[in-house]
């Protein structure tokens, strides 16, 4: 169903590996997943970790340049506008229910993320992003231009700056 827009071009590869994440963030993500599995009996999996600029542009096109019925999926126009590029964000879904997990799954994700000192997209006031978990607080919801400047110096420079190394 195209909703008046053309169908999306071929999907760029998805990265689900935790190896690309900042070290402290990776530790906290693993603890969060373990908490959901062990304490709640849930089945969380990483649907996406680090994201290329090409993939970010593809996702940004939904609801703007093309559509398959899901509408806008991100407000980050480029990789520099979201924490996935920098190894500081992941998307988590249910292994069995995928993106259609019940509300109780998403609530448990938020509780587990907060318990590990992470920020959950379901807490955002304007655009709820239930699967999204990122390093912080106190990091900003979206990176500033300074994040890209630090990243250009090497990923460890940025990770050290935000306390995730």
Q: What is the pLDDT along the chain (165 residues), one digit of tens a residue?
A: 445 788 889 999 999 999 999 999 999 999 999 999 999 999 999 999 999 999 999 999 999 999 888 889 898 999 999 999 999 999 999 999 999 999 999 999 999 999 999 999 999 998 899 999 999 978 899 999 999 999 999 999 999 999 999
64, part of any domain: yes
Single pTM value for the model: 0.94
Domain, as residue range, for 135:
23-159
Please report, for the domain that includes residue 142, its CATH number.
Answer: 3.30.1380.10
Q: How many domains does the chain have?
A: 1
Count of Cβ atoms closer than 10 Å to residue 66 Cβ: 15
pLDDT for 3 equals: 59
Burial of 134 from C-beta contacts in 10 A (0-12 / 13-18 / 19+): buried
């Amino acid at each position: 169903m195209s909703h008046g827009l053309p169908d999306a071009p071929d999907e760029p590869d998805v990265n689900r590996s935790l190896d690309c994440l900042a070290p402290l963030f990776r530790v906290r993500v693993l603890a969060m997943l373990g908490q959901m599995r062990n304490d709640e009996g849930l089945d969380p999996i990483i649907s996406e970790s680090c994201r290329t600029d090409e993939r970010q542009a593809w996702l940004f096109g939904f609801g703007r340049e093309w559509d398959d019925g899901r509408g806008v999926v991100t407000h980050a126009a480029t990789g520099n506008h979201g924490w996935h590029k920098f190894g500081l964000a992941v998307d988590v879904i249910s292994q069995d229910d995928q993106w259609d997990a019940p509300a109780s799954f998403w609530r448990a994700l938020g509780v587990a993320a907060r318990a590990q000192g992470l920020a959950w997209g379901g807490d955002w006031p304007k655009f709820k992003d239930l699967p999204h978990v990122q390093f912080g607080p106190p990091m900003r919801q979206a990176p500033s231009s300074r994040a890209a400047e630090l990243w250009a110096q090497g990923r460890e420079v940025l990770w050290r700056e935000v306390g995730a190394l």
